[in-house]
Structure 1
């Protein structure tokens, strides 16, 4: 679709050169029967240049291309109206480009709401040079201690926030898979999770924003970034997203598991139970580890499946690990799944591949960069 739109805009711009050529008698243009003044000819050239610039900006993923498109379409359509008999079919191209520009502009505005929320949390991190030590782990169950050491967190700065990029695929029960890319920001000092997803669902661009902050949780999913298909904001969603927040902490920020808001209960040498409390809401999860020290599964009964409005057992089995960080110093989840355990059996609704993990960032550019392909 991106390439089709690029060539459409470019071709539409080149066609406008015919008006310029006819006005200045640069070539015989038999397709245009009506006379064109030199002033109009210059406007046809301006429209062509504006459309050419729009095509380049669109191809390069510039967020400004819809604004240039609006200007180009305005000039183009005015000229088409003045030469309606010869140029009326150009209106079709203008309508197609306009619709694409409106969707792109709305998508950018939607994504900016996510980035603005992230920016508000990007304060200088507290004690960025304070390192995590073995002494910080003494109150934790043995398998959690092994896990934190296994991931390479010891001797590294304590974690106050993180930025994570994913790609993968998701589905609802009885529906087909759809591919997605996502970026998220988590603040652990003031529990916050801001998750922005881009997907293509049934051929339509669909964006989703999950926000967990300021004692509230919300979920907004828009088709074409214009039409809301999911818009939730409730106390029960806060409980559900508290599970998700704690799941992120366990999988991607093991150094943050020293948090005093977590109460631990040992089960055996490879599993334990944790209760995490935020803003008076407590959720529990059971963590399973292997003998080597890896976290291999996270299970909780405190997350609601919003599609059926029921609490179901939820788990996130980990398939593989790899190194992340500027110096490849952190060994974290590479591929994993998100699973609902329905009465008729387990249903994998999400497959996640971790692209990048960064800790203690103060730069919005970490999340404002291009979404991975």
Structure 2
């Protein structure tokens, strides 16, 4: 009897593992297609003249990060570790792997969170005029499954936030409309698939982006729109480009600010070749 029970436990572990792998393979299949659609062009450099239409603080930012005379960015791979939480709940640690495409806007974010000693995978996909968020216990039982127009708009804010913080070379994109507020502040309107969002970017005297604020993002917990910001506290040089190494994600609820995410950049690679 004991041997039979051990065999059954082993089979359950194997089945759960295969389901987890299948969930992650869906992410990798989407990544493969996204990289095919967002290939970099050899020798296509970002030049000083490409900055001319940008507000002065955005121009200084792109010079600070070091993207001038470097290849234009068509896609990116990002690895984070950090902590996340829902309001009223404890922090849980996570690691994430993410690919973004900027020719045909795509954001594919696969997270592995640790909850109650278990690994809980989550997949956020923004592609083909759709956005979805799925979190599954063991990669099998849905905990969160959300999609729809509100999520697409929310994730349009998220991908633009990624562009500003992690892929600043993409800010020359003609699909962004800029407005100069003052010497350290600029406002942007970003449009994808007919959906427009706005954000205000704040810079310091060194040219560093220090905060991103938007009122167009929806919280998944209640699908209501709240002010969203990502204050940045540290920069680091990754392969010759100065980008954020630590930042927070903040909801500005009516009863006060709530930090729901802490992100520490581990790896970043621009213009990944299709695999």
Short-chain TM bin: over 0.9
> What residue is the counterpart of 1:192 in the other structure?
106
Structure number with higher strand proportion: 2
Q: Give the number of the structure whose alpha-carbon radius of gyration is greater.
A: 1
Deviation larger for 229-238 or 279-288: 229-238
C-alpha contact 1:128 1:360 (8 A) present in aligned 2: no
- Does 1:103 find its partner at 2:22? no
> What residue is the counterpart of 2:152 in the other structure?
238
> What residue is the counterpart of 1:69 in the other structure?
none
Shift of 1:126: 4.3
> What residue is the counterpart of 2:233 in the other structure?
319
> What residue is the counterpart of 2:246 in the other structure?
335
Q: Please list, as runs of the form range in 1=range in 2, the aligned pairs for 1:3-18 lying within 5 A after superposition.
A: none
> What residue is the counterpart of 1:223 in the other structure?
137
C-alpha contact 1:207 1:224 (8 A) present in aligned 2: yes
Give the distance between the partners of 2:42 and 2:65, measured in 1 at CA: 19
SS in 1 for 2:19: helix
Give the distance between the partners of 1:202 and 1:312, measured in 2 at CA: 29
> What residue is the counterpart of 1:355 in the other structure?
266
Shift of 1:306: 1.4
Q: Please list, as runs of the form range in 1=range in 2, the aligned pairs for 1:71-86 lying within 5 A after superposition.
A: none
Q: Once the two structures are superposed, what CA deviation does each residue of 1:12-59 show, in whole Å capped at 9, x if it has no partner?
A: xxxxxxxxxxxxxxxxxxxxxxxxxxxxxxxxxxxxxxxxxxxxxxxx
Q: Please list, as runs of the form range in 1=range in 2, the aligned pairs for 1:19-98 lying within 5 A after superposition.
A: 88-98=1-11
TM-score, normalising length: structure 1? 0.72
Give the distance between the partners of 1:351 and 1:96, measured in 2 at CA: 36
Q: Please list, as runs of the form range in 1=range in 2, the aligned pairs for 1:249-288 lying within 5 A after superposition.
A: 249-288=163-202
Q: Once the two structures are superposed, what CA deviation does each residue of 1:100-132 show, in whole Å capped at 9, x if it has no partner?
A: 212211110000000000101222724231111
C-alpha contact 1:142 1:269 (8 A) present in aligned 2: yes
Give the distance between the partners of 2:127 and 2:39, measured in 1 at CA: 18
RMSD value, Cα: 1.0
SS in 2 for 1:190: coil
C-alpha contact 1:128 1:158 (8 A) present in aligned 2: no
> What residue is the counterpart of 1:143 in the other structure?
57
Q: How many residues align?
A: 274
SS in 2 for 1:122: helix
Counterpart of 1:120 (choices 24, 28, 33) is 33
Counterpart of 2:84 (choices 167, 170, 184) is 170
> What residue is the counterpart of 1:39 in the other structure?
none
TM-score, normalising length: structure 2? 0.97
Q: Once the two structures are superposed, what CA deviation does each residue of 1:313-342 show, in whole Å capped at 9, x if it has no partner?
A: 0000111010112xxx00101000000011
SS in 1 for 2:21: helix
| Structure 2, gaps ≥5 residues long | none
Deviation larger for 106-115 or 120-129: 120-129
Structure number with higher helix proportion: 1
